């Protein structure tokens, strides 16, 4: 079994703000590979998670249109 680990950083919005230092850990098996993702939240973020996702989606759509 192969395991791939990725650490992602997300920003906290006004709802569901985590104040502890421990990241959220997720595992997902796709075929024979297990993906492990750790999500960290920046307590000093100025952009909500929703805003960040929308910004990334817009950037992807602009890149696809070019």
pTM: 0.42
38 strand-pairing partners: 7, 25
Instruction: Say if residue 12's pLDDT is above 50.
Output: no
pLDDT band (50, 70, 90) for residue 62: very high
- Domain ranges, ordered by start, for the chain: 2-65
- Tell me the per-residue pLDDT of 49-61, one tens digit each, with 9 for 90 and over: 899 999 999 999 9
Closest-CA residue to 13 (of 55, 54, 41): 41
Q: Output 34 or 1, whichever has higher pLDDT.
A: 34
Q: What is the largest CA-CA distance in the chain?
A: 42
Ranked by mean pLDDT, the top range of 11-15, 44-48, 52-56 is 52-56
């Amino acid at each position: 079994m192969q395991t791939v680990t990725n650490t992602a950083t997300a920003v906290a919005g006004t709802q569901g703000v985590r104040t502890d230092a421990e990241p959220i850990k997720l595992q997902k098996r796709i075929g024979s590979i297990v993906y492990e993702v750790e999500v960290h939240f920046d307590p000093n973020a100025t952009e909500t998670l929703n805003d960040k996702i929308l910004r990334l989606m817009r950037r992807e759509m602009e890149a696809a249109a070019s």
